[in-house]
Structures are given as structure tokens and as C-alpha cells.
């Protein structure tokens, strides 16, 4: 079995253990774990960490096409055609994005952010749920800006099969999960047994 940490990364914490404080080390006292993918310093929510290199690659590498789902507070109220643009893909400076999932949602029940989001009294805001299969730098923020909806707050709630759930900011849960399937052998004979899969629902204690 592989070990996996589900961590609710607070705002202002980089996805690394070294550097200027605060870092992941202030919240996760376990050695040998490394992030499987990244989450911007000014974004919040689910960050996965593991001590298994194969699992780290399976989660983070774009070739495995893990859906990453975010709740996004934006400035403005989107029309349906704006959401359609996000779903179809928008053109960024580094090229068009792949099709995404996007829909408007009711204001989610989230913890208060520290520092709080700055609002403009004359401009309404709304919440979207956006899921992507890419991992470009600050991609969600760039996508919403491209369609005229600047991001105010960004919270990742799921990566592939794993969900943030009820984890509070700065808390983590350590679980065990089956290792990812091995890559096929060069001879062409499959090395992956049918039915092999990662699973999210394993018991584990929330830690702070």
C-alpha cells in the first residue's frame, strides 16, 4: 500500500517544505512526503502529498488526466455563453486550454479566509465550480480573467478520486491507498491487471 496525505492548504502557504515561513513543514510533521502537483500560494484547499514516487507521478503528470475541481469566487455574474466559453476552452498566452467543466453554484459554506477577500461594493460577485485536466501555472485565474471574470478566491475541492471533504484549513488526513498500476512493458505485453484502481474512501484521522 502507498501512503497519501490529504491536506487543506491555507491561503499564503506555498506548496513546499523549505523557504520562507510559513511552509508545509509548519502543518505536516511527517518526513519523506512530497506534493503530488502544486497549488498556488494564494489558493486554498486540497493538496495531495505522498512518499511513493510512482503515486506522485500518477497523480501529478498530465498524461494521467486527473480532473482537478475548484470552487472559484469571481467578480461579476457569468452569462451562459460565458460558461460555454470556459467549457469549450479559452485562448491564453501559452495557447488554448482544453475543454473544462464549468457551472455556476450557490455560495458554498466555507471557512473565513485570512486575510479576507477584498470586494468592490459596486461590483457583484458569484461562485463557479470549474474542473480541468491540465496544470498550467495559475490556469484557473487566467481562464476566468480571459472571459471577463477576475478570480477573487480559489479553493480546490478535489483531485481525481480524492476530495477535500470536511478537512479544516491546516488539517490533514493520512490514508493508505493501493499503488498505481505499473506501466506496460516495452514488449507490448500489458503489465496492468484489469480492475486495478486507486481508491479514495479509506479511513483515516484528521490531524492538525
For the stretch 92-140, pLDDT in tens is: 999 999 999 999 999 999 999 999 998 888 899 999 999 999 988 999 9
Instruction: Say if residue 187's pLDDT is above 60.
Output: no
Work out the number of other CB atoms within 10 angstroms of the CB of residue 25.
14
Grade residue 84 by pLDDT with cuts at 50, 70 and 90: very high
What's the CA gap between 188 and 106, in Å, rounded? 48
Half-sphere exposure of 182 (CA within 13 A, CB side): 9
pLDDT tens digits for range 144-163: 999 999 999 999 999 999 99
User: Is 40 a residue of the active site?
Assistant: yes
Per CATH, the homologous superfamily of domain 67-159 is Alpha-L RNA-binding motif (3.30.70.1560)
Radius of gyration over every alpha carbon of the chain, rounded to an integer in angstroms: 18
The catalytically annotated residue of 40, 42, 51, 125 is 40
Burial of 186: CB neighbours in 10 Å, binned 0-12, 13-18, 19+:
exposed
| Average pLDDT of span 11-28 | 93
pLDDT tens digits for range 128-138: 999 999 988 99
CATH code for the structural domain at 1-66+160-208: 3.30.70.580
Q: What is the pLDDT of residue 94?
A: 93
List the chain domain ranges.
1-66+160-208, 67-159
User: Do 1-66+160-208 and 67-159 have matching folds?
Assistant: yes
pTM of the model: 0.85
Amino acid at each position: 500500500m502507498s501512503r497519501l496525505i490529504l491536506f487543506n492548504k491555507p491561503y499564503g502557504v506555498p506548496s513546499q517544505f523549505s523557504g520562507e515561513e510559513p511552509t508545509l513543514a509548519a502543518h505536516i510533521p511527517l518526513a519523506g512526503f512530497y506534493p503530488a502537483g502544486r497549488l498556488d500560494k494564494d489558493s486554498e484547499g486540497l493538496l495531495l502529498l505522498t512518499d511513493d514516487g510512482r503515486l506522485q507521478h500518477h497523480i501529478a503528470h498530465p498524461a494521467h488526466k486527473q480532473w482537478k475541481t475548484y470552487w472559484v469566487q469571481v467578480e461579476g455574474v457569468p452569462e451562459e455563453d460565458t460558461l460555454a466559453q470556459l467549457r469549450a476552452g479559452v485562448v491564453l498566452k501559452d495557447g488554448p486550454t482544453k475543454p473544462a467543466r464549468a457551472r455556476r453554484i450557490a455560495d458554498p459554506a466555507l471557512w473565513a479566509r485570512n486575510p479576507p477577500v477584498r470586494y468592490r461594493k459596486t461590483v457583484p460577485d458569484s461562485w463557479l465550480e470549474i474542473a480541468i485536466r491540465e496544470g498550467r501555472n495559475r490556469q484557473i485565474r487566467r481562464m476566468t480573467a480571459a472571459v471577463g471574470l477576475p478570480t477573487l478566491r480559489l479553493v480546490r475541492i478535489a483531485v481525481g478520486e480524492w476530495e477535500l471533504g470536511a478537512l479544516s484549513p491546516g488539517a490533514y488526513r493520512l490514508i493508505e491507498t493501493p499503488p498505481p498500476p505499473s506501466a506496460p512493458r516495452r514488449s507490448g505485453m500489458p503489465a496492468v491487471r484489469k480492475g486495478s484502481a486507486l481508491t479514495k474512501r479509506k479511513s483515516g484521522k484528521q490531524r492538525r
